[in-house]
Amino acid sequence: MKEIPHLTFDLDTLGVSTGHLVVPKGADCEALSLPVFSLNKGEGPRLLITGGNHGNELEGPIVARRLVEWLPEAQTCGRVIIVPEINPLAVQAWTRNTPIDGKNLNRAFPGRADGTVTERIADAVSRVLLPMADTVFDFHSFGPTWDTPSAIITHPIANADLMAKTLRMAEAFKLPVTLVWEYHDTPGMFDIWAHSQGKVFICPEFGGGTVSTEALAIHEAGVRNALIALGLVEGKAEHPTFRQQKSSQTLETLLSDELRSPARGIFEPRCSMLDEVKQGDLIGVLHSMESLSAGAIDIYAPTTSIVYAIRSGAYVEADEEIVYFARPLKL
């Protein structure tokens, strides 16, 4: 008999339970067992939290693990399901995509039961976990080679009611930035699939670069604020302190706000996340790998805007993304 994706325990059990989500074996690898935590306090909101969708974004798994520690003391109603690493193969390899099939889990939804391992993970999450939740937090970050603030990102949603609910939920985190991001490469993303199922889907992008204890405290405070807003936890929401400030701003990034490298080489940032730049400001320099006599290529801000994310010093290919700009959201 063919195995189907399933949980090794019963989510209806009251209180804390832990076990695994089994992703069946396929032609490319054996079955996977993803550790799952469930805290069922009966009636109330139903929340699914996932981390480790991309394997080199460790902020999410760590914040998820911390939640597992303190939630049993704090949660007063409803259900929370936590899967700290939905792609353990990528986490163990510290890679964005799954090493076995080279696929990006966040482009594989809703998945395929008879597909490659990445597609089977997406299928298991879509079939077994997603139906159990009304709201999803899928923890991401910009990864090690970007300079970005801790933020909640949402794509624009055609359904106006779902968009309004999502934006309200996003702002409840009170992270330094809430961003509505018009993005080109969305087919197969977890949020797009969850929206089609009527879910409120929140994508925290917990900054980039070093996963420090100070940064983790900000991310965790944001999640606590969101749990308070959902009514799962009691308490008073507070802005975390970021760069000596306690404030949030809601921004938007349009398709035209993406800046790509004019050539391959080493990118040197000349500005930082959240800098306000004027059209024509020098924001970075691209150094050729082939020659030192060619001179570097100066890169200027195409418009007056805010730097949402900038590549930290990194080798980049031609036409690779190096900066995302943003501007205050007009509603």
Q: Which residues bind a second copy (CB under 8 A)?
A: 18, 33, 35-37, 55, 58-59, 61-62, 65-66, 68-69, 82, 84-85, 88, 91-92, 94, 144-147, 208-214, 216, 266, 268-272, 285, 287-293, 296, 312-315
- Distance in Å, CB of 313 to a second copy, minimum: 3
Kindly tell me which of 157 and 301 has the beta carbon lying closer to a second copy: 301
Residue 237 CA to residue 207 CA, distance in Å, equals: 20
Kindly tell me which of 62 and 151 has the beta carbon lying closer to a second copy: 62
Kindly tell me which of 253 and 312 has the beta carbon lying closer to a second copy: 312
Kindly tell me which of 94 and 164 has the beta carbon lying closer to a second copy: 94
Contact between 324 and 258 (Cβ < 8 Å): yes
Residue 228 CA to residue 235 CA, distance in Å, equals: 6
Kindly tell me which of 94 and 196 has the beta carbon lying closer to a second copy: 94
- Distance in Å, CB of 238 to a second copy, minimum: 22
- Distance in Å, CB of 234 to a second copy, minimum: 24
Kindly tell me which of 33 and 256 has the beta carbon lying closer to a second copy: 33
**Is the bond into 204 cis (omega within 30 degrees of 0)?**
no
Kindly tell me which of 39 and 170 has the beta carbon lying closer to a second copy: 39
Closest CA to 173 of 221, 231, 226, 245: 226
Residue 278 CA to residue 231 CA, distance in Å, equals: 42
- Distance in Å, CB of 64 to a second copy, minimum: 9
**How many Cα atoms sit within 13 Å of 34 on the Cβ side?**
35
Residue 275 CA to residue 64 CA, distance in Å, equals: 30
- Distance in Å, CB of 75 to a second copy, minimum: 15
Pairing of strands 249-253, 177-181: parallel
- Distance in Å, CB of 23 to a second copy, minimum: 15
Residue 241 CA to residue 247 CA, distance in Å, equals: 8
Contact between 213 and 63 (Cβ < 8 Å): no
Tokens encoding 68: 């597992």
- Distance in Å, CB of 327 to a second copy, minimum: 22
- State the burial class of residue 13 (Cβ atoms within 10 Å of its Cβ: 0-12, 13-18, 19+): exposed
Angle of CA points 232, 236, 239, to nearest 5°: 110
